[in-house]
Amino acid sequence: MSTTNGQWYPPEWPERIRLLSAGELTPVTPRRAATVLLLRDGPDGTDGQDTPQDARDARNGDGEHSPDELGAPERLDTVPEPAEAPEGPETPPEGLRNAAGAADGLAVYMLRRRASMAFAGGAYAYPGGSVDPRDERMVTWAGPSRAQWARRLGLDPSEATQAQAIVCAAVRETFEEAGVLLAGPTPHTVVADTTGDDWEADRAALVARDLSFAEFLDRRGLVLRSDLLGCWARWITPEFEPRRYDTWFFVAALPRGQRTRNASTEADRTVWIRPGDAADGYDRGELLMMPPTIATLRQLAAHGSVADALAAAADRDLTPVLAQARVENGELVLSWPGHDEFTKHIPGATGGPSA
C-alpha cells in the first residue's frame, strides 16, 4: 500500500486488522529480540557507501520507491564511554557535511533488508534479531549485573538470566550482521579488529547456529561489555502481524579500530547516515522504514554527539509501544500510542469495537 512518506505498511494489514477486531484472528506470542543502533561522530562511510542509493535514485528519477556476574555491578545510569572513531582518513557521506564542508554530526549505521525477506523486506533498519535460547548460557560479563539489567529492561528481577539473553542477543547480532563486537580480553578493553579470516569463520558459525555465543566468547577468552550498551526503546510488533517480536533497542558507540561491513545475508545495502538526513529521506518517501526505525531516528536527531545520545539513554522510557486498532465512525483506526504520525484510518471497517 502506497504512502506519502516511507512508512512500511503492507497491503494485507487492513484485512488482518479487521479480522483481529472481529475476534477472528488470534495473536501469536511475540519472540524476544534485540537491535543495536551503532553510533559514531565525525567522518563516516566505512562501508564505501554514502547517501542511500534509494534516495539518490528517487531524486534523479531512477525507478519507483514506496513512500524499519562476573564483572562488578554498576549503576545503569552510568553513561557508557563513547569509543573513538577509527584512525585513518575517511570521506564523510553526502549529507554529513556542515556548511563549511567539514564532517559534522552524529551518524547511525543502517542496513536495508532484502526485498525477498518475509518480514519488512526492502525496509531500512538496524542490526538485530531474535534471542537465541543459548544466549542464556553463562558468559564472562562486565558492567551492570544481570539483575540490574532485568530491572532496566522492564523485567522482573528474578528474570536475570532472560535479561542476559537479551543483552547477549544485542551483542551477538551486531557481530553477526555488522562485524562489530562489543567484547574484549578484559572488563575494560574491546577487541580492536574483527576482520581476519578466523573472525569471519567464527561469525559464520554463529550465524549458522553451529556455535553459541557463550562458546565463542569462551574460546577467545573474551568478556562481554554490557556497560557499552544503553537501552533506548522497546517496541512490540502489532497483534495482527503473523511474525511478532518484542524488541529492545540499544545504542552503542562503534569501538575504536573496528569497522562495520555488510556481513548479513539479510541486507543488500548498508550506510552510515546522520539521523536527521535519514528521517528526511523517509519524509520524502525515498527510504522505507518501520515505525520503530523512524521513531528512533527522530529521537536520535536531537543529540549532537555519541556522548549526548549515550547519556540520554539512561533516562529513556522503556514502556513498550504496541499498536492499537479500534473502530471509529465506521472505519478502523490504527495507532501507536505516543506516536501520532503513524496513525492510519481504514474505511469500510467491520467487526468488533477494538483490538
Q: Which domains does the chain have, with CATH numbers?
A: 33-319 (3.90.79.10)
Of 218, 213, 225, nearest to 143 by C-alpha is 225
Residues 6 or more apart from 168 whose CB is under 8 A from it? 131, 135, 136, 139, 213, 214, 224
Of 291, 335, 297, 299, nearest to 316 by C-alpha is 299
> CA-CA distance, 207 to 175, in Å (whole number)?
10
> CA-CA distance, 41 to 129, in Å (whole number)?
25
DSSP type of residue 153: T
Residues 6 or more apart from 228 whose CB is under 8 A from it? 80, 81, 83, 143, 182, 190, 252, 253, 255
CA-derived radius of gyration, the chain: 20
**225 DSSP β-pair partners:** 142
| Helix orientation angle between 160-178 and 213-220, rounded to the nearest 10 degrees | 70
Of 198, 197, 167, nearest to 183 by C-alpha is 167
Q: How many residues does the chain have?
A: 355
Q: Is the dihedral of CA 296, 300, 306, 309 positive or negative?
A: negative
Residue-level pLDDT at 121: 66
**224 DSSP β-pair partners:** 141, 183
Tens of pLDDT, residues 153-180 = 999 989 999 999 999 999 999 999 999 9
Residue-level pLDDT at 44: 45
What residues of the chain score a pLDDT lower than 70?
1-9, 43-104, 114-121, 264, 348-355
> CA-CA distance, 40 to 271, in Å (whole number)?
12
Contact assessment for residue 323 and residue 334, using Cβ atoms and an 8 Å cutoff: yes
> CA-CA distance, 80 to 138, in Å (whole number)?
23
